[in-house]
């Protein structure tokens, strides 16, 4: 079945440092989504990528979809304490009927 792997599992950074989380799929994806879950909260949709090589930005967040549509990354520039949380990728292959979530990367930002 479809597998979505995410690394790293945990990341501690100093406020102001950059952060990147990576998502890799065992199969080619038709789309990939990113979600953020604050501590004690629920996953919240951030963005969806559909096209090969697509890059989207939301303020300090940059999302990329690989050329082969099997990997994706989320990069945060100059992290802030408000960036704390767990970031999940979720992908769907063409034949799958639902998203498969990665294991998440838990980001801690030290002030």
Partner 1 sequence: DARVTQTPRHKVTEMGQEVTMRCQPILGHNTVFWYRQTMMQGLELLAYFRNRAPLDDSGMPKDRFSAEMPDATLATLKIQPSEPRDSAVYFCASGLWRGLMGTDTQYFGPGTRLTVL
Contact residues for partner 1 (CB under 8 A)?
A: 30-31, 33, 35, 41-45, 48, 88, 90, 92, 94, 97-101, 103-104
Q: In whole angstroms, what is the distance from residue 82 CA to residue 15 CA?
A: 10
Residue whose CB is less far from partner 1, 15 or 46: 46
HSE at residue 110, side-chain half, CA atoms within 13 A, is 4
CA-closest candidate to residue 50, choices 75, 28, 22, 80: 28
Q: Any bridge partners for residue 64, and if so which?
A: 55, 73
Tell me whether residue 28 or residue 103 sits nearer to partner 1 (CB atom). Answer: 103
Least distance in angstroms from the C-beta of 93 to partner 1: 10
Minimum distance of partner 1 from residue 26's CB (angstroms): 17
């Amino acid at each position: 079945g479809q597998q979505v792997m995410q690394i790293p599992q945990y990341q501690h950074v100093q406020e102001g440092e950059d952060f990147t989380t990576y998502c890799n799929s065992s199969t080619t994806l038709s789309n990939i989504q990113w979600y953020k879950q604050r501590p004690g909260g629920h996953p919240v949709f951030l963005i969806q990528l559909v096209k090969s090589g697509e890059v989207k930005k939301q303020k300090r967040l940059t999302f990329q979809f690989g050329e082969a549509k099997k990997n994706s990354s989320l990069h945060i520039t100059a992290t802030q304490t408000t960036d704390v949380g767990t970031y999940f990728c979720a992908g769907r292959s063409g034949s799958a009927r639902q998203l498969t979530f990665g294991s998440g990367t838990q980001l801690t930002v030290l002030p």
